[in-house]
Amino acid sequence: MSKIATELTRVSSSPEKQSGLLPTPICRGSTAIYPNLEAMRASSEDALKKNGPRYGRFGTPTTQAFDDALTELEGGFATVSVCSGLAASCVAIGAFVAQGDHILVSESVYGPVRRFCDSLTRFGIHVEYFDPMLGEELARKVLHNTKLVYLESPGSTTFEVQDVPAVVSVCRPRGIVTVIDNTWATPYFYNPLRMGVDVVVHSATKYICGHADSILGAIICDSEKIYSAIRVESIRLGQCVSAEDASLNLRGLRTLAVRLERHQQSALQLMDWLQEQSAVGQVLHPSRVDHPGHSVWRRDFRGGTGVFGLVLQEWVSELAADRFVESLSLFSIGHSWGGFESLIVPADLEHRARPSWLRPGVLLRLQIGLEDVADLQADLKRGFAELAGEM
Ligand SMILES: *Cc1c(COP(=O)(O)O)cnc(C)c1O
């Protein structure tokens, strides 16, 4: 499986078509011309085909190269890229639901996706949230009008790993579409389409881009039927991607393996150390043996990345936790993650009830960047010393 590191350096690269140059050129453009009227008329007959309507919004050679790369890396039929990770989730859900339908959404989803799902009630769609640790028992929640199950594994904030093959075994025979957010693991560590999921969504903004300088989403579809529905929805909503963003994200893919190995290695080292600190109650990452879904993670994933949660001890007040966060110098305060820089933010469970396995205490989210790990540890150590001094 280490073969993917090699694949990342070559996927979707066609130097022979571009004077031998390795990087895919940035092709900007809105208007694209037709050789004659016959070609123009024929193109509008099928928007899904490669020779379909010629216009920048439908894609350019640069965006196509990015789409093809993700299709190959995830093992899908085709990819639709959109303006953001959030848009990828909204388009993937919107493509399959209509008034009167019921959808099941994991409680551990990224907050803005939950807000989108809540807004679907305006259109008469019934949304129900479920415990991410339900595997085959999800069958009990399925209704006659359940059209879609939305997963995210590991989940945002709490990082539970979902038993995807078990969920698929419930959904496939019933014709229920499954969508999963694979932003955290990326195709480098996890390929849910190979486990029978219908649609994978990514916020490429995070690890795929890797440099905190682009916002981009991708929807990878496992079949022509799924792709058609998603492509039509994306076109209907006017979704498109700039050549610059596609190019930055193609560049990001080239170094994804080496970056993720480093993020993983540093995170594992720091998490072992963090668990020993007196102010720390719980470390939330699938690699921890006591974490929900750890065994499923070991079974289904090839590794883990550098974003995790930290529950402080109950005796650390919110104010003290805020001061701890602000006392750090190498961990910047900032949302998003997947870039080169370490980040820390107080985390929010959104509208979700606190799961029973989660210890009480202030919850933080850390992203371990590409800095020297000893420097990061020294920074945290200083912060904990100050925290202890204040108590
Ligand atoms: C950030 C994030 C998104 C949204 O991505 P954007 O590109 O910022 O819109 C979706 N899912 C997960 C898990 C994320 O962390």
Query: Is 57 noted as a catalytic residue in this protein?
Result: yes
Q: How far apart are CA 172 and CA 174, in angstroms?
A: 5
Q: How far apart are CA 151 and CA 201, in angstroms?
A: 10
Q: How far apart are CA 54 and CA 229, in angstroms?
A: 20
Q: Which of 101, 163, 181, 245 is catalytic?
A: 181
C-alpha 172 – ligand 1 centre gap (Å):
26
Q: What is the pLDDT of residues 265-282, one digit of tens each?
A: 999 999 999 999 999 999
| pLDDT for 267 | 98
Interval 147-164 mean pLDDT: 97
pLDDT over 90 at 20, yes or no: yes
Residue nearest to atom 2 of ligand 1 (CA): 203
pLDDT over 90 at 78, yes or no: yes
DSSP string, 62-112: HHHHHHHHHHHHHT-SEEEEESSHHHHHHHHHHTT--TT-EEEEETTS-HH
pLDDT band with cut points at 50, 70 and 90 for residue 197:
very high
Interval 119-146 mean pLDDT: 98
| pLDDT for 63 | 96
Report the DSSP beta bridge partners of residue 346: 364
Q: Which own/partner contact pairs does 47-52 have at CB distance under 8 Å and 24+ positions apart?
A: 47/231, 47/232, 47/235, 48/227, 48/228, 48/231, 48/232
C-alpha 303 – ligand 1 centre gap (Å):
20
Q: What is the pLDDT of residues 315-366, one digit of tens each?
A: 999 999 999 999 999 999 999 999 999 999 999 887 888 999 999 999 999 9
% residues pLDDT > 70 (the chain): 98
Query: Is 236 noted as a catalytic residue in this protein?
Result: no
DSSP string, 110-132: -HHHHHHHHHGGGGT-EEEEE-T
| pLDDT for 391 | 65
pLDDT over 50 at 1, yes or no: no
Is 215's C-beta closer than 6 angstroms to any atom of ligand 1? yes
Closest ligand 1 atom, residue 206 Cα = 1
Among 86, 106, 248, which is best to mutate for testing ligand 1, by the most ligand atoms less than 8 A from CB?
A: 86
pLDDT band with cut points at 50, 70 and 90 for residue 52:
confident
C-alpha 235 – ligand 1 centre gap (Å):
21
% residues pLDDT > 90 (the chain): 91
Torsion angle of C-alpha atoms 79, 81, 85, 86, degrees rounded to 10: -100
**Mean pLDDT of the residues in the chain:** 96
Q: Which of 114, 206, 288, 365 is catalytic?
A: 206
| pLDDT for 388 | 86
| pLDDT for 2 | 47
Kindly report the number of other CB atoms within 10 A of residue 11's CB atom: 19
C-alpha 200 – ligand 1 centre gap (Å):
13
Give the CA distances from residue 373 to residues 28, 124, 309, 391, in Å, rounded to whole numbers and listed in that order. 40, 50, 18, 27
Give the CA distances from residue 111 to residues 16, 25, 162, 212, in Å, rounded to whole numbers and listed in that order. 44, 35, 17, 20
Residue nearest to atom 7 of ligand 1 (CA): 85
Is 155's C-beta closer than 6 angstroms to any atom of ligand 1? no
Q: pTM of the predicted model, to two decimals?
A: 0.97
Q: Which of 114-131 are b and which e, b meaning 16 or more Cβ less than 10 Å from the residue's Cβ?
A: bebbeebeeeebebebbb
Q: How far apart are CA 76 and CA 334, in angstroms?
A: 33
Interval 72-94 mean pLDDT: 98
